[in-house]
Structure 1
Amino acid sequence: MLKYRLITALILIPLVIAALFLLPPKGFALVTLGVCMLAAWEWGQFAGLGSSAQRLSLAFLCGALLALMTLSLPNYHYSVHLLPIRVSLWVSLVWWCAALLLVLSYPGSAGFWRGSKALRLLFGVLTIVPFFWGMVALRQHHYDSDPFFGAWWLLYVMLLVWGADSGAYMFGKLFGKHKLAPKVSPGKTWEGFVGGLATSAIISLLFSVYAPLGVAPFTLLICSVIAALASVLGDLTESMFKREAGIKDSSHLIPGHGGVLDRIDSLTAAIPVFACLMFLVFKTV
């Protein structure tokens, strides 16, 4: 399994970086749209959609919703001042605060949404749609003056999240004794959680020194810490929904890694939360 994980990672990471820096805004939005449709297809299991036709319909409906929102905006100039993007990012902040309450009170909280497909579908919309707009808004940031500026921001958040995941895994394996959320994800520990945050802090420090992010260090630190915490919440939230659905992986699309949601669960929280904080709270536009 580890062999397949490493091989897949060695293939996917260069492709992701190439997409960030080489694709034009339209191409990047289309690729992100495709990823979101796959994520919606996998979310169908969490919502209790049993048939392949229902899950495919959900994927196409998600794609149609995002496409319609995109077409309603001016020619791929995705400024956070545009209402659909601004609302999506604020909604994301509210949703992840609510998700934190659901995770902390699980399994009791499941009594509120377990029997409702509509609620579980709504949770999927609140996860996937803001993720799309967070990705697109960050990539588009200052695109006219520097086509790569937003790509550096997105790469930064991704490295922050990947660092938190890797650090949590390594520190958890080496020192993990105290369970972080045993009712949601028994494998995660407080030692891994602290190790992941420490890894993210090192990445933030290195990036602030050597990469062209163009933001005040204190603002970057606050947004980075909250984004790293949100990434853990995104992981735990997906684990909670998988536990309710009785599945280990969201799908088997990625050899050794499970499904698309298994790879982007942390990013679905970290990306829109980071974008909301940077653009709408601290107003770094």
Structure 2
Amino acid sequence: MLQARILSALVLVSLVFIVLFVFPPLLFACTCALLIVLAVWEWTQFANIKQPILRWIITSIAAAFLYLFIYANSDFIASGKILNNVSELLIVSSLIWWIVAFILVMTYPKSTAFWGNSTIAQILFAFFTLVPFFLSLLALRFYHYNSSPYQGITLLLYVFLLVWTADTGAYFAGRKFGKHKLAETVSPKKTWEGVIGGIVLTVIVAAIFLTITPLYEATRLSFAELVAVSVLTVVVSILGDLTESMLKRHCGIKDSSQLIPGHGGILDRVDSLTAALPVFSAFFFILT
């Protein structure tokens, strides 16, 4: 199992770098859309949809919506642009969704009275999680694309680094010092000590990253603003993880799927990023 997990991780990291550094805008957008389509397929089981034909129909509708969006905006995307009034609104509106998600997680299992048996509610959860995530991937990747094609890559790598560092710091700090449960009814192993350890390690790594890369100088944010947004991003990434844990616990499943050997499904790998990327994007673009 450990061998499969390590091998899968190496393949995933390699794919991420290929998609970021090699793929042109349209191919990047299509790849991100495929990621979302796979995530929608996994999410349908959260929505209590057991019939395979219904899961296929919903996933196909999502695929059609995403690829029609790409087709309709192909010239716009090919030129390295994505942000417009609608996409900006969806990214910013995700802030409201994550406030709602926080309330649902903190009041679980009582909160299931409002959404536990509602397929419509859980499809809305998927929409406000995955669509802003998709748009944020494109918005950050294409940031100043025409004048500096790699600046967006640096932004995305920075957010990935924040989330992965926070996960690592939380894991080791939680194992060593963890005593006070963070959200026991949702994820019994997570502790406040782990959260603090993750944040501390992230601040250190973020400061180093901002010092040795041109990211800080390329933005209009002050160093303090960028660090503050980074810490908020890490905090919200934990909420993304907890939200998926809540949905899986309610469905009685351990992993969203078995697509990635040793790692579970797509949602198991991007749960933190589904919250981190839209929140980082919203504040980044508001402040700049």
Q: Could you tell me the TM-score, scaled by structure 2's length?
A: 0.94
Residue 249 of structure 1 pairs with residue 255 of structure 2: yes
The CA deviation at 1:67 is 2.4
Tell me the equivalent position of 1:42: 42
Tell me the equivalent position of 2:156: 154
Q: What aligned pairs does 1:90-129 form with structure 2 within 5 A after superposition?
A: 90-129=92-131
**C-alpha distance in structure 1 between counterparts of 2:94 and 2:66, whole Å:** 15
Tell me the equivalent position of 1:13: 13
Tell me the equivalent position of 1:172: 174
Alignment equivalent of 1:211, drawn from 213, 237, 245 = 213
Cα displacement string for residues 73-119 of structure 1 (whole angstroms, at most 9, x for unaligned residues)? 35214343x12211110121111111111111111111111121100
Contact 1:251 1:258 in 2 (8 A): yes
Corresponding residue SS for 1:123: helix
Tell me the equivalent position of 1:52: 52
The CA deviation at 1:31 is 0.7
Tell me the equivalent position of 1:234: 240
Corresponding residue SS for 2:149: coil
Identical-residue share of aligned pairs (%): 46
2:6 corresponds to which letter in structure 1?
L
**C-alpha distance in structure 2 between counterparts of 1:2 and 1:171, whole Å:** 21
Contact 1:8 1:254 in 2 (8 A): yes
1:78 corresponds to which letter in structure 2?
K
Corresponding residue SS for 2:76: coil
2:76 corresponds to which letter in structure 1?
N
Residue 258 of structure 1 pairs with residue 270 of structure 2: no
**C-alpha distance in structure 1 between counterparts of 2:93 and 2:63, whole Å:** 19
2:81 corresponds to which letter in structure 1?
Y
Alignment equivalent of 1:223, drawn from 218, 229, 246 = 229
Residue 188 of structure 1 pairs with residue 194 of structure 2: no
Tell me the equivalent position of 1:75: 76
Cα displacement string for residues 11-61 of structure 1 (whole angstroms, at most 9, x for unaligned residues)? 211220221122111111111000000000000010011022222222221
The CA deviation at 1:129 is 0.5
Contact 2:258 2:265 in 1 (8 A): yes
Structure 2 runs not aligned, ≥5 long:
none
Structure 1 runs not aligned, ≥5 long:
none
Contact 1:177 1:189 in 2 (8 A): yes
2:164 corresponds to which letter in structure 1?
W
Contact 2:81 2:145 in 1 (8 A): no
Deviates further, 191-200 or 231-240: 191-200
Deviates further, 59-68 or 91-100: 59-68
The CA deviation at 1:10 is 1.5
Tell me how large the CA RMSD over aligned residues is: 1.3
The CA deviation at 1:186 is 0.5
Corresponding residue SS for 1:180: strand
Contact 2:2 2:262 in 1 (8 A): yes
Alignment equivalent of 2:139, drawn from 128, 137, 140 = 137
Cα displacement string for residues 183-238 of structure 1 (whole angstroms, at most 9, x for unaligned residues)? 01011111111111112112210111011212321221111011101100000000
**C-alpha distance in structure 1 between counterparts of 2:51 and 2:172, whole Å:** 38
Structure 1 runs of 4+ with >4 Å offset: none
**C-alpha distance in structure 2 between counterparts of 1:78 and 1:239, whole Å:** 34
**C-alpha distance in structure 1 between counterparts of 2:91 and 2:223, whole Å:** 22
